[in-house]
Structure 1
Amino acid sequence: MLNIGAHLTISKGYEKAAKEAISIGANTFQFFTRNPRGARAKTLDLEDIQKLDKISKDHGFASLLAHAPYTYNLASGEEDTWSLGKKLLRDDLDRLQHMESCNYIVFHPGSHVKRGIIFGIDRIAQGLNDILTGEENTMLLLEGMAGKGTEIGSRFEELRLIIDQVNQRDLVGVCLDTCHLYSAGYDIVNLLDDVLEEFDKKIGLNKLKAIHLNDSMMPFASHKDRHAKIGEGTIGLKAITTLIKHPAIKSLPFFLETPNEVEGYRDEIKLLRSELNKESLEE
């Protein structure tokens, strides 16, 4: 079964977001934990969360995916920025403790801002060691990046180095993004098996917990992060459906982050399910 969702807003509550997910043919969804460009979070509504959990259970949702704000930068050498990231992440983890339907929170590892990759990796790991207690019921997912500027996490080796330094490494996994992978120089169009084998060798497929599903506006190995609608970019519909049905990852939840409104997500989910059904009949 295809576990697929989209990035939905929770401005009107978690229950409404869950119902919206069902209305577009999704069986999971992703949401920002707080203002993506700031620090403000909604007041915690436990009744709303309980309604979300019931809908998720009743409809057999795959785990939801919380997305951290872009204001996190655990790779920063600036104490104020680093401390803010740690404070927000700790608060997000505390809030997610109340949500049974969400097992993961994904965040961008951060940017070393000309301090060097090793400095940034050490800084991220130190920050996670300061935050994690081992009592969390939510797993942190490092997002694989496109490699623009001084951001960390575009290479599998970098993600591995972070995980290896975290004391509570059982609570740290990975979320891959198809646009980011392709832009970072991993050829998921022509060499998908090789890419997944390399990930397994360097990190371990057991650490891969979710996938952001996007086409790309930019050419292969561009190191630019520009998402495109499914089938309208340089990755293409065929490569994306091939990835979705790959035996090593087909059971994972996939989350659309394409440049769409809700109706556009509905069309993409319908398209992907149709393509997978068509290929299944042809086989």
Structure 2
Amino acid sequence: MIYIGNHVSSSKGYEAMGKQEVALGGDTFAFFTRNPRGGSAKEIKDEDVQRLLTLMKDHSFGPLVAHAPYTMNVCAAKEDIRKFSVEMLKDDIRRMEYLPGAFYNFHPGSHVGQGSKAGIELIAAALNECISSTQSVTILLETMAGKGSEVGRSFEELKEIMDRVSCKEKLGVCFDTCHVWDGGYDIVNHLDEVLSEFDRLIGLDKLCAVHLNDSMNDCGAHKDRHQKLGLGKIGEEALRRVVTHPALQGRPFILETPNEDDGYAREIAMVRKWQEQ
């Protein structure tokens, strides 16, 4: 069994996000902690969060997967951007304490010409500055497609970051099916081998969440263009194997496909059907 949901807008508040997901048939969801293209964050109202937590309990929700804004780049070449990003990360970790047991997912960053080694060291330094052993949220590094100067394009790069972080128990990975496919991991023909490689390098116990997306690109294209489930180069059968793989059960699966609400409802129902077969 997995938990399935989609990325919902946080503009209407916490309880509203939960109600929207229930209406779509989901039992988890993802949301941006703040403006995804900026740095501003709305005030959190404790009573709103409490209503969401009650709704989640009533509907047997799995862990939520918050997402950092795209503007956050803790390994940026410019020092002012790095400092701004680190402060944003610290603030988001504090804000996530309203949702005990949730995950906080972020793109590791882009080294912007400094080289991946420098990027890895800066990302690890930022995590060591921000993560504490007392926090309840687990920080997830997302697997990346490898476009441009992205860090995290391979399991090896993610491992290098994680090896440098002191509070390893507060760190995990979000496995994005589109990104790993675009990054060169053939999950269509060799899913077992890909997961075995992840387990060897990082450990499947660190694979905490999945972004479930098809891809518009061929394997290894390094382009990161999501597609609706079954309509891309990964395809329905391969994605069904991901959803039902024994090693991935119990995780939250988040849809980031190009859909409106009716499309997400259909995909959630599709995934439920895969689980029943």
Normalising by the smaller structure, the TM-score range is over 0.9
Residue type of the alignment partner of 2:43: T
| 1:88-138 Cα deviation digits (max 9, x unpaired) | 1110111111223x5210000000011011000000001111112222110
Distance (whole Å) between structure 2 residues aligned to residue 155 and residue 226 of structure 1: 17
TM-fit CA distance, 1:54: 0.7
Indicate the residue corresponding to 2:219 in structure 1. 220
What SS does structure 1 have at the residue aligned with 2:102? Answer: strand
Tell me if the contact between 2:36 and 2:71 (Cα under 8 Å) persists in the aligned partners: yes
Tell me if the contact between 1:211 and 1:253 (Cα under 8 Å) persists in the aligned partners: yes
Q: Does 1:109 align with 2:108?
A: yes
TM-fit CA distance, 1:170: 1.2
What SS does structure 2 have at the residue aligned with 1:199? Answer: helix
| 1:155-208 Cα deviation digits (max 9, x unpaired) | 001000101101111111100100001000000000000000000000000111
What SS does structure 2 have at the residue aligned with 1:54? Answer: helix
Distance (whole Å) between structure 1 residues aligned to residue 2 and residue 93 of structure 2: 28
Residue type of the alignment partner of 1:12: K
Indicate the residue corresponding to 2:33 in structure 1. 33
What SS does structure 2 have at the residue aligned with 1:128? Answer: helix
What SS does structure 2 have at the residue aligned with 1:230? Answer: coil
Question: How many residues align structurally?
Answer: 277
More displaced 10-residue stretch of structure 1: 267-276 or 144-153: 267-276
Tell me if the contact between 1:132 and 1:168 (Cα under 8 Å) persists in the aligned partners: yes
Distance (whole Å) between structure 1 residues aligned to residue 158 and residue 173 of structure 2: 8
Distance (whole Å) between structure 2 residues aligned to residue 275 and residue 150 of structure 1: 36
| 1:51-105 Cα deviation digits (max 9, x unpaired) | 01111111110001100001111111311111111101110111111223x5210
Q: Does 1:238 align with 2:237?
A: yes
Q: Does 1:95 align with 2:95?
A: yes
Residue type of the alignment partner of 1:255: I
Indicate the residue corresponding to 2:183 in structure 1. 184
Indicate the residue corresponding to 2:200 in structure 1. 201
Tell me if the contact between 1:15 and 1:51 (Cα under 8 Å) persists in the aligned partners: yes
Tell me if the contact between 2:243 and 2:271 (Cα under 8 Å) persists in the aligned partners: no
Indicate the residue corresponding to 1:65 in structure 2. 65
Indicate the residue corresponding to 1:138 in structure 2. 137
Distance (whole Å) between structure 2 residues aligned to residue 156 and residue 29 of structure 1: 25
What SS does structure 2 have at the residue aligned with 1:145? Answer: coil
TM-score (norm 1): 0.96
- Runs of 4+ aligned structure 1 residues displaced above 4 Å come to none
Residue type of the alignment partner of 1:125: A
Indicate the residue corresponding to 1:123 in structure 2. 122
What SS does structure 2 have at the residue aligned with 1:97? Answer: helix
Indicate the residue corresponding to 1:269 in structure 2. 268
What SS does structure 1 have at the residue aligned with 2:104? Answer: strand
Identify unmatched segments of 5+ residues in structure 1.
Answer: none
What SS does structure 2 have at the residue aligned with 1:140? Answer: strand
CA 1:115/1:104 → structure 2, altered by over 3 Å: closer, same or farther?
same
Distance (whole Å) between structure 2 residues aligned to residue 45 and residue 228 of structure 1: 35
Distance (whole Å) between structure 2 residues aligned to residue 173 and residue 117 of structure 1: 20
Distance (whole Å) between structure 2 residues aligned to residue 17 and residue 267 of structure 1: 18
Tell me if the contact between 1:230 and 1:258 (Cα under 8 Å) persists in the aligned partners: yes
Tell me if the contact between 2:138 and 2:172 (Cα under 8 Å) persists in the aligned partners: yes
Indicate the residue corresponding to 1:170 in structure 2. 169
Identify unmatched segments of 5+ residues in structure 2.
Answer: none
Tell me if the contact between 2:187 and 2:238 (Cα under 8 Å) persists in the aligned partners: yes
State the superposition RMSD in angstroms: 0.9
Distance (whole Å) between structure 1 residues aligned to residue 192 and residue 265 of structure 2: 29
Tell me if the contact between 1:2 and 1:273 (Cα under 8 Å) persists in the aligned partners: no
